[in-house]
Structure 1
Amino acid sequence: MAQDGMFTISEFAELSGITRSNLLYYDAIGILKPAYRAGNNYRLYSSRQLELINAILSLRSMGLSLDAVREHIPNRTPENTLDLFETQIKALSAKIDDLLQLRESIEKRAETIRLHKDIKAPLFTIEVRSTETIFIGRLCASAPNLDVAYFHSFLKQCREVGISHATQIGQIVFMESALAGSWDAAGCMYAKTNKGSDNIEEGMFAVLFELSQDYFDDNHAYYEKFMRHVSKNSLELRGNIYIEYPLDEMSENDPKKHLVKIFSPVRQR
């Protein structure tokens, strides 16, 4: 110990559990300056500063930035500390919401792969589905314009409302267009997330699985094949057509094995 109640920087670092380099940095940015500088420019810290460094480390462990800590240290009062904590609680709650959404997206992606990895396309089948919440893009485009630019425009919309980039997305062809065979009519994109206010209804769905080499392929042939299967099985549409890619660039290296899923709610004629 340098003198009664005072510690050299090395002693203070050992007692506080913070590195010497961090103490030098805290000194440089004004978070914790030595209590005294000796004539040889040695930094000396007081025993009271052990309590202060513990408070600083506690604030940092709560996720507070160095700037927030630096601003708070000279302005500590119960009221200011409560304000600081309440602000941090809100920030942490937002992060928790984002992490929960990200986990949900990953879980949905994983479940999609599990359910579809052994599908042998082409395949037409019937599914019974529960209601699924989705976010529909506010912009629509004609089918030929559901291209790279439109795709990234939709992703931007998702980011604006806090939807993770990891969320699975799909395309919609409106029922009126499908019944008229107008595959170039306006359609939309959607994201499979609980943050949406729309939904894919529950009930019986006709489903067509096909192999697709490109997300932006011309899907007209798939749509027409889907409608032929619907008619052949004495079914009729009762809602929009949805297009998803259960196995895509994320999960399958071979583009010839990318899986497209076309499905729509139907009823018996």
Structure 2
Amino acid sequence: MGDKIYLSTGELAKMLGVTKQTVIYYDNIGLISPAKRGEKEYRQYTLEQADELDSILTFRNIGVSIKVLKEYLSERNAKRCIEMLKHQKEKVDKEIQKLDRIRKKIESRAKLLEKVVEVKDLKKVEFVYHEQEVYMIEECKEADEKSHMQSFTALCNHSKQLGIDFENPICNIIRKKDLATGAYEKTAHFGIKIPDDFQDANIERFIKPSGTYAFTYHQGSYETMNLTYERLIAHIKKHGYEVCGNAYETDLLSTLTSLDRNEYLKLIAIQVCKN
């Protein structure tokens, strides 16, 4: 009756719902070794070790690394266990925050695309009042395509670092003076909307003022954008308005959603005032 019960590698693995290879791996790296070896060097584990391995598997399932586990098991006690669990909780909380941002980004992009595919008349112009918005911006100092891409990438990376890239897509901002001369391709800044109370002293802010904006869509390649601008500005004048602010271009359908450049879609908004 007093004989100790031993479990083979297979029996231990079956009891804990893991593979034999997992048990052997943990032995090979020195995490938990068999109590003794029987004939032909077969591993034999005690029931106490089954309980220990179950605890190790629990720690691994919550993300504790092999290195941290080894250090803990060599000098295990309740205080160190509490410290290890608290540290792991902090890591899990950060991961949850990261996943929540990803979820919001997915939801935001899906809702945007759902609205886009429901649009029936892409040439329709609407005049809509909008409240003031705050943007984080990156200046486009040069007009060439390479410089534009560098500015765009810089803003993308900065917004990701700050965790504000999920709410809104990046837009191109074209100055009023460039609209007046027909330089519609001349992006002054790339911008992304941020909360009004966002606290970060290291970002350059840009205020998109409240007021009435004329909205329309551009479908097709970027090379034909001037035609859409001419149509939009002509509509603005026809309805007794004049351009009194900047233009804001937002990609809705681009390389991510279409292989055909003729299916690319941008939303263009220009601030207007009554004559």
Pairwise same-fold verdict (TM > 0.5): yes
Q: Tell me which stretches of 4 or more aligned residues in structure 1 moved more than 6 Å.
A: none
Q: What is the one-letter code of the residue matched to 2:220?
A: S
C-alpha distance after superposition, 1:31-87 (max 9, x if no partner)? 221122235311111111111111111112212233333333223222222222222
Distance 1:104 1:136, change over 3 A: farther
Q: Distance in 1 between matches of 2:29 and 2:78?
A: 24
Distance 1:236 1:97, change over 3 A: farther
Matching residue within 219, 234, 248 for 1:211:
219
What SS class does the counterpart of residue 218 from structure 2 fall into?
A: strand
- Native 8 Å contact 1:124 1:208 kept in 2: yes
> Structure 1 residues 249-258 or 11-20, which shifts more?
249-258
Mapped pair 1:160 → 2:165: no
Q: What is the one-letter code of the residue matched to 1:250?
A: L
- Native 8 Å contact 1:169 1:189 kept in 2: yes
CA RMSD, aligned part only?
3.2
Which sections of structure 2, spanning at least 5 residues, go unmatched? 199-204
Q: What residue number does 1:234 align with? A: 240
What SS class does the counterpart of residue 261 from structure 1 fall into?
A: strand
Offset, 1:172: 1.5
Which sections of structure 1, spanning at least 5 residues, go unmatched? none
Q: Distance in 1 between matches of 2:132 and 2:90?
A: 32
> Structure 1 residues 220-229 or 19-28, which shifts more?
220-229
Offset, 1:221: 4.9
Offset, 1:6: 1.7
Between the two proteins, the alignment pairs up a number of residues equal to: 264
Q: What residue number does 1:57 align with? A: 57
Q: Distance in 2 between matches of 1:91 and 1:230?
A: 53
Q: What is the one-letter code of the residue matched to 1:102?
A: I
Q: What residue number does 2:36 align with? A: 36
Mapped pair 1:25 → 2:25: yes
Q: What is the one-letter code of the residue matched to 1:241?
A: A
C-alpha distance after superposition, 1:117-140 (max 9, x if no partner)? 234333322234466665433x43
Mapped pair 1:87 → 2:87: yes
Q: Distance in 1 between matches of 2:26 and 2:182?
A: 69
Offset, 1:22: 0.3
Percent identity of the aligned residues? 22
- 5 Å matches for 1:7-156? 7-38=7-38, 40-117=40-117, 118-129=119-130, 134-137=135-138, 139-145=139-145, 147-156=148-157
What SS class does the counterpart of residue 217 from structure 2 fall into?
A: strand
- Native 8 Å contact 1:155 1:165 kept in 2: no
